[in-house]
Amino acid sequence: MSSAKPPLSKMDKSSTLIENKLARTWPSRIMIIATLFMILVTTLDAVFEGYQQLQVEVQHRREMANNTLDAINPSVASAVFNDDLPTVNHLLDHLMSFPNILYASIRNDAGIAVAEKGDNSAADRHIQLAKGLNWVVDDEQVEAGEITVIVDADVSLPHILNLMLRKSLLMLSGLLIIALGITAAYHRLTMRLRDLSLATLRICDGHTEQKIPYQSEADEVGDIARAIHKLYRNAENLYDLQDRLVRNMTQKSQEIISAKRDVTTLNRTNNLFLASVSQEIRSPLTAIRGAVTLCKNGMAGAIQEQTLSLLRIAEENCLRLEDLIQEVMDVYELQSGSLELELREVDLKSVIQRVAARWDPRARRKLQRINFDAFLDIPNVLADSIRLEQVLDIVIGNAVYYCGNGCNIQVTLSHTEEQVRISIADDGPGIPMRLRPSLFHIISEEKESQTRMQGRGVGLGLAKGIMTTMQGDISYESMSAENIKDSTLNSGTTFFIDLPIYKREDA
């Protein structure tokens, strides 16, 4: 395998040792508990069987005594009835000769003891039987007295104990043989499982040369060994795949970093090139605009009216070209992150008035009107006044450029507790649907086409970037012939510029 496997931590090893110890001890404990339980069951069974044997033996002795009394009853009754004492004593001796008879007494019909033999001191612990002595006189049964015997009930206890002992020894011998067999099988099984466990732990510790034992055996342990071996091989493949993935990811990451570095270098080069070209163009352009202004003012001599009109057009286009160069420089600063802002308290109405006054002459030439109510009570905003003026120049300038002759451009202000909104609305033709997805992009194919037709292609993208940097926002809503039903406007386009309200630190 190409890579080393991660070794087990100390906690993992301790946990593994504890689990192995438990795995070795809990089956032994179960076997001991099972053995004790079987011994208990065997003893209880022997006690129960002994008790049953005792009951049988007592019943047997009772029946034997009854049969004996029934057998000698006529003879004893005749002897008692005839007052034949020698015969009574002889019959009593004969009765005492029977096994298990502890005591015997004969009484006449008056209840007087005629004869008695034996010991009746513990009669309550033994079997006591009494039979009436019946004698027939002139075909009439006469009770001649009573015979009483006490039968021993304790003599069977040693026999019962002996029976219990023999049965318990027999069952314990069988149980011991079974336990030895189970123990041997268990130890054989645990030894093989322990070998598998140790081999697996060595592999986990990085000893890749370790072989998995018992793979050739055709039992459950062999199945486990083959499964572990297969799992180990799969793990090897996974580790190899992981190594390849890590190497590939490292290589790709280095390639991405290198490509990103190249792109950054290229962007920096392009931005520097744009800055250099813009500066190189601005210098002769300034000279050209100065010369055109001098000629227009008659510094080079009298000029004709037609020539003066051409000079005005040249001067206006020089100014537009200077604005475009400035926008290119601003885009460079915005994309390079070097755009500097001076955020401070700004009187919004004065900024709007300056921008509206600057665009009013151009609007009048197209018979347009820029309307702004400067008497509204609007709080000051937090902004960079120069950049805010640039954003308003872009939005109002677009309205002047793209609206037709005779359109109205309305600038209104509103505010909430947190921000001020500038709304710049026109009643022009609206923004075409195809331009809207990329309207705030610095450059796109649709905007390139629009730029070739009408100019100022980066303005709104630059305005969006400036507003975002100033912690504000710019958005719009437009109605064109393509979305008359979906628009909330009656006509034209409205741009919304949102700025945070300036809050003094002592407020």
The amino acid at residue 361 is P
pLDDT reported for residue 181: 78
- Mention every residue, 6+ apart, whose C-beta is less than 8 A from residue 336: 267, 268, 271
- Tell me the pLDDT of the chain averaged across its residues: 78
Per-residue pLDDT band at 20 (split at 50, 70, 90): low
Reply yes or no on whether the pLDDT at 445 is more than 50: no
Residue 488 within any structural domain of the chain: yes
pLDDT reported for residue 497: 95
Reply yes or no on whether the pLDDT at 457 is more than 70: no
Domain that holds residue 384: 344-500
- Strand, helix or coil for residue 84: coil
Domain containing 385 — which CATH number? 3.30.565.10
186 vs 94: which has the higher pLDDT: 94
What burial letters (b/e) apply to 299-314, b meaning 16+ CB within 10 Å?
A: eeeeeeeeeeeebeeb
Q: Hey, what are 423's tokens? A: 């709304």
Reply yes or no on whether the pLDDT at 249 is more than 80: yes
446 vs 145: which has the higher pLDDT: 145
Angle (deg, nearest 10), helices 220-296 and 157-204: 40
pLDDT reported for residue 160: 64
pLDDT reported for residue 163: 67
Is beta strand 408-415 parallel, antiparallel or unpaired with respect to 369-372? parallel
pLDDT reported for residue 474: 94
pLDDT reported for residue 11: 46
Of 92, 97, 135, whose CA–CA distance to 114 is shortest?
Answer: 92
Of 459, 329, 355, 341, whose CA–CA distance to 411 is shortest?
Answer: 355
Residue 242 within any structural domain of the chain: no
- Strand, helix or coil for residue 271: helix
Reply yes or no on whether the pLDDT at 391 is more than 90: yes
pLDDT reported for residue 485: 58
Q: What is the pLDDT of residues 260-269, one digit of tens each?
A: 888 778 777 7
pLDDT reported for residue 231: 80
Residue 59 within any structural domain of the chain: no
Reply yes or no on whether the pLDDT at 98 is more than 50: yes
Residue 297 within any structural domain of the chain: no
- Strand, helix or coil for residue 499: strand
Per-residue pLDDT band at 335 (split at 50, 70, 90): confident
399 vs 76: which has the higher pLDDT: 399
- Tell me, yes or no, if the pTM score tops 0.75: no
Reply yes or no on whether the pLDDT at 105 is more than 60: yes
For residues 237 and 233, what is the distance between their CA atoms, to the nearest angstrom? 6
Q: Hey, what are 129's tokens? A: 């039987």
Angle (deg, nearest 10), helices 85-96 and 10-81: 160
Per-residue pLDDT band at 25 (split at 50, 70, 90): low
pLDDT reported for residue 422: 94
Reply yes or no on whether the pLDDT at 353 is more than 90: yes
Q: Look at 344-348, 364-368, 420-424, 477-481 and tell me which has the smallest mean pLDDT.
A: 477-481
Q: What is the pLDDT of residues 140-198, one digit of tens each?
A: 777 778 888 888 776 555 666 676 677 777 777 777 787 777 777 777 777 877 887 88
Which of the residue ranges 74-78, 277-281, 327-331, 389-393 has the most confident prediction, judged by mean pLDDT?
389-393
Reply yes or no on whether the pLDDT at 130 is more than 80: yes
Reply yes or no on whether the pLDDT at 13 is more than 60: no
Q: What is the pLDDT of residues 53-62, one digit of tens each?
A: 777 777 887 8
User: CA–CA distance from 283 to each of 237, 286, 287, 289, 501 (Å)?
Assistant: 68, 5, 7, 10, 39
Terminal alpha carbon distance of the chain: 71
For residues 431 and 475, what is the distance between their CA atoms, to the nearest angstrom? 13
138 vs 317: which has the higher pLDDT: 317
Reply yes or no on whether the pLDDT at 22 is more than 50: no
For residues 72 and 134, what is the distance between their CA atoms, to the nearest angstrom? 11
Per-residue pLDDT band at 348 (split at 50, 70, 90): very high
Q: What is the pLDDT of residues 56-86, one digit of tens each?
A: 777 887 888 888 888 888 888 788 778 888 8
Mean pLDDT value of segment 316-324: 77
CB contact at 8 A, 133 and 147: yes
Per-residue pLDDT band at 93 (split at 50, 70, 90): confident
Per-residue pLDDT band at 443 (split at 50, 70, 90): low
Of 412, 422, 288, 232, whose CA–CA distance to 346 is shortest?
Answer: 422
Reply yes or no on whether the pLDDT at 376 is more than 90: no
CB contact at 8 A, 381 and 420: yes
- Mention every residue, 6+ apart, whose C-beta is less than 8 A from residue 483: 430, 433
CB contact at 8 A, 334 and 462: yes
Q: How many domains does the chain have?
A: 1
For the chain, how big is the Rg over CA atoms in Å?
62
CB contact at 8 A, 371 and 487: no
Strand partners, 108: 145
pLDDT reported for residue 501: 93
Residue 200 within any structural domain of the chain: no
pLDDT reported for residue 187: 75
Alpha helices in 110-219 (DSSP H): 157-204
Q: Look at 243-252, 304-313, 406-415 and tell me which has the smallest mean pLDDT.
A: 304-313
pLDDT cut 90: percent of the chain above it: 13
Q: What is the pLDDT of residues 282-307, one digit of tens each?
A: 778 777 877 878 787 777 777 777 77
Residue 414 within any structural domain of the chain: yes
Residue 462 within any structural domain of the chain: yes
Per-residue pLDDT band at 1 (split at 50, 70, 90): very low
CB contact at 8 A, 100 and 74: no
Alpha helices in 337-434 (DSSP H): 348-365, 385-402
Reply yes or no on whether the pLDDT at 384 is more than 70: yes
Mean pLDDT value of segment 366-373: 90
Residue 373 within any structural domain of the chain: yes
Helix-, strand-, coil-residue percentages of the chain, each rounded to 5: 60, 15, 25
Reply yes or no on whether the pLDDT at 452 is more than 60: no
Q: Look at 183-192, 369-378, 423-432 and tell me which has the smallest mean pLDDT.
A: 183-192
